[in-house]
Amino acid sequence: MPISVILGLQWGDEAKGKVVDLLSQEFDIIVRYQGGANAGHTIYYNNQKIPLHLIPSGIFHPDKTCIIGNGVVVDPYALKDEIEKLKELGINVKERLYISSRAHLILPYHKKRDEERDRTRKIGTTKKGIGPAYQDKSARWGIRAGDIFYPDYLRERLKNNIDNYQELFKEYTEILNFIKPMIKDTVSILVEAEQSGKKILMEGAQGTMLDVDFGTYPYVTSSNPTIGGVFTGTGLSPKFLDKIIGVSKAYTTRVGAGPFPTELEGNMQSYLREEGNEYGATTGRARRCGWLDLTQLKYAADVNGIDGIFLTKMDVLNHLEEIKVGIGYRHNGKIISTFPDAISILNEIVVEYKTLKGWNTNINGIKTFSKLPEQTKDYIKFIQDFINIPVIGISTGPLRGDVIYAD
């Protein structure tokens, strides 16, 4: 079974990039299946902090192939920028990155539309043109990467979309020519890879609670970061699925507007934000911070059918006497056992918490699970028992080496 998946269980920024970079060693091909440059996946390479927006986080392993699948919306300007930045670091991308010919493009008019709309809709989007590009795709109005191979068709499509298409056709052709050698039928590349026994790792962007179907709609993104997105976004069948790994922070964050049941206020929120350096990798916005929400996490685990949890940023909780975790919701005094399907309910729920003892010591540098403080083990066990899924690894710092695998 050659396909494994790493996806976010919260509202994004769970440190998926770090986990993908870490686990890429065991795979041949790393694939992004949805989202676009709204993602910001941070990797440390030679002690340098690098945010990736479109290129899969496996790119730092020189022998790996990376694929941007058909489910991704590709901003060619952002992609060129990213390729050039990596080149400056000595990482050659062009020979081992493929972009799906079926992937839809984000062009400057999508970003403009995104900015204009969010002024009134106030979702707090990343303004990267994601919503408008997916909208054009569903409306059968979109422009795909592979259209560059058919200039007359591309011109015609642009004519349908914008007024000054003549001028822009030239400009867009130029930028698309830069990525043209990498644009391929990635469906057949992936199918062939699967058939020849290559190991494939799928890298989710955003997170389950930002999923357009399963998230806190309408405060979501426009794609499916959840498990189904893997298949519609790449062309591979679920039949070949091996492991699904869900990434969660040891607490919760959210950027942008929308419900966040365990959100903290005041000093405690600032504490987590500063300890966790919770500022967006894409927009630099301060992230909203709160306690871990196990009702939410269980919902995300169920929706994706995850096999294991990777718990990140454990070190951020190092110096707390007590740590709270959300263990249930009440609405109008009644306990609700599932994650609410309506914003109006989410806005009214009261969260019930369990207070656990903090370990109040530095766990950075610990390399084996058995050497962790008892309180850290208890915290992990509590999560594991509640969700009924094993924690397979924890991250104790931003670097590749800051990791402990479960025994």
Q: Which of 40, 142, 225, 261 binds Mg ion (CB under 5 A)?
A: 40
Q: Which of 299, 359, 395, 404 binds ligand GDP (CB under 6 A)?
A: 395
Burial class of residue 153 in the structure, from the number of CB atoms within 10 Å of its CB (0-12 exposed, 13-18 middle, 19+ buried): middle
Q: Which residues of 45-74 are buried (b: 16+ CB within 10 A; e: fewer)?
A: eeeeebebbbbbbbbbeeebbbbbbbbbbb
Indicate whether 286 belongs to the interface with ligand IMO (CB under 6 A). Answer: no
Closest-CA residue to 200 (of 20, 71, 374, 394): 20
Q: Output 56 or 276, the one with its CB closest to ligand GDP.
A: 276
Evaluate whether 38 touches 282 at the Cβ level (below 8 Å). Answer: yes
Site for ligand IMO in 205-224 (CB under 6 A): 205-207, 210, 221-222
Is 13 assigned a catalytic role?
Answer: yes
Indicate whether 312 belongs to the interface with ligand GDP (CB under 6 A). Answer: yes
Tokens describing residue 12: 């994004």
Q: Output 191 or 257, the one with its CB closest to ligand IMO.
A: 257
Tokens describing residue 34: 């949805």
Evaluate whether 308 touches 245 at the Cβ level (below 8 Å). Answer: yes
In three-state secondary structure terms, 301 is helix
Q: Which stretch binds ligand IMO (CB under 6 A): 156-164, 168-176, 204-212, 238-246?
A: 204-212
Indicate whether 288 belongs to the interface with ligand GDP (CB under 6 A). Answer: no
Is 402 assigned a catalytic role?
Answer: no
- Phi, psi torsion values for 194, nearest 5 degrees: -60, -45
What is the closest distance, in whole angstroms, from the C-beta atom of residue 350 to ligand IMO in the complex?
Answer: 24
In three-state secondary structure terms, 228 is helix
Residue 96: CB partners within 8 Å, gap ≥ 6? Answer: 59, 64, 65, 66
Residue 70: CB partners within 8 Å, gap ≥ 6? Answer: 100, 102, 103, 186, 187, 233, 234, 235
Indicate whether 289 belongs to the interface with ligand IMO (CB under 6 A). Answer: no
Euclidean distance between CA atoms 68 and 182, whole angstroms: 10
What is the closest distance, in whole angstroms, from the C-beta atom of residue 219 to ligand IMO in the complex?
Answer: 6
Q: Which of 2, 5, 7, 8 binds ligand IMO (CB under 6 A)?
A: 8
- Phi, psi torsion values for 273, nearest 5 degrees: -65, -40
User: Which one of the listed residues 21, 41, 110, 211 is annotated catalytic?
Assistant: 41
Indicate whether 255 belongs to the interface with ligand IMO (CB under 6 A). Answer: yes
> By Cβ distance, which residue is nearest to ligand IMO?
256
| CA angle, 119 then 123 then 129, to 5° | 75
Indicate whether 208 belongs to the interface with ligand GDP (CB under 6 A). Answer: no
Find which of Mg ion, ligand GDP, ligand IMO, none residue 124 binds, CB within 5 to 8 Å per kind: ligand IMO
Bond preceding residue 218 cis, omega within 30 of 0:
yes
Indicate whether 247 belongs to the interface with ligand IMO (CB under 6 A). Answer: no
Indicate whether 125 belongs to the interface with ligand IMO (CB under 6 A). Answer: yes
- Phi, psi torsion values for 97, nearest 5 degrees: -120, 130
Indicate whether 194 belongs to the interface with ligand GDP (CB under 6 A). Answer: no
Q: Output 135 or 375, the one with its CB closest to ligand IMO.
A: 135
Indicate whether 398 belongs to the interface with ligand GDP (CB under 6 A). Answer: yes
Q: Which of 126, 216, 226, 295 binds ligand IMO (CB under 6 A)?
A: 126
| CA angle, 400 then 186 then 214, to 5° | 65
Closest-CA residue to 203 (of 79, 337, 87, 29): 29
Find which of ligand IMO, Mg ion, ligand GDP, none residue 206 binds, CB within 5 to 8 Å per kind: ligand IMO
Q: Which of 4, 24, 34, 38 binds ligand IMO (CB under 6 A)?
A: 38
What is the closest distance, in whole angstroms, from the C-beta atom of residue 284 to Mg ion in the complex?
Answer: 12
Strand 391-395 relative to strand 308-312, pairing: parallel
Residues classed as catalytic: 13, 41
Summarize as ranges the residues that interact with ligand IMO (CB under 6 A): 8, 11-13, 38-41, 123-126, 128, 130-131, 205-207, 210, 221-222, 255-256, 281
Summarize as ranges the residues that interact with ligand GDP (CB under 6 A): 8, 12-18, 40-42, 276-277, 281, 312-313, 315-316, 395-398, 402
Summarize as ranges the residues that interact with Mg ion (CB under 5 A): 13, 40, 281
